Amino acid sequence: MDNLNDQNQAFEPSRPHNFEGLLWMVLIILIIAVGSIMVYRNCLPITKALGFEGPLNFDLVMSSKGLHDITLENGRAYDISYETSYKRDFIGLVRHTSPIRETSFAILTFDILVTSGDFANPEFVNTSVSNHHFTWISKTNTQPNGAINLLHTVPLNEDINQALKTVQNGDKVRITGYDIYQIQGYNPEGDYIGFWQDTGCNTTLVTNVEILNE
């Protein structure tokens, strides 16, 4: 009998360390949570250190020297010259919108194709936008009526910037602003890096955005 009891005791399984495993799980969750908070709080400094820039606040960007000389927080600077001293309206159907991602000219935000007349009707005219240029082809072999304008937008302030983000394909819009002739760029060291000047499009300092959808 004693030998039988000894055998039973010898084969009794040991209890797993459940409590220790739970502690390790809690510790790992805490480390992940703290790490996520630190990354979130330091996202902008981290992106700058890696050579990337966060989104611009156009209330701060467009507040210098009469909208001609612009200096960003990172030291990049722009000299803007305008074609005229009066505003113009671009009214029609949006057939394309996409963000502009030109690091050297970060104040440019969107390509927006505004069309009217035959240009607004895909049954009459095919349109396309690529690399900040537009093309169109008539389906009727006749000269279309109406207007077609590809806008490269520079927002006047942050409200305008946010309004431009809401514009979608198929919207009927009225976008108002000043035609920009040329933007000359300078790096943080003050060296000239080149210029932006459209050919057949409309680089525009946008002062108002209206969505006219019924």
Residue 75 CB contacts under 8 Å (≥ 6 apart), including other chains: 187, 188, 189
Report pLDDT for 60: 80
CB 81 within 8 Å of CB 180: yes
Q: What is the pTM of this model?
A: 0.74
Q: Is 2.40.50.140 the CATH number for 58-211?
A: yes
Taking the chain (214 residues) in consecutive chunks of 10 residues, what is each chunk's mean pLDDT? Answer: 47 57 81 70 46 67 74 89 94 96 93 97 95 94 94 95 96 97 94 94 96 82
CB 119 within 8 Å of CB 144: yes
**Residue 72: both structure tokens together:** 């960003």
CA dihedral 108, 92, 59, 83 (to 10 degrees): 60
Report pLDDT for 74: 84
In our burial notation (b when 16+ CB lie closer than 10 A, e otherwise), range 154-183 reads bbbbbebbebbeebeeebbbebbbbbbeeb
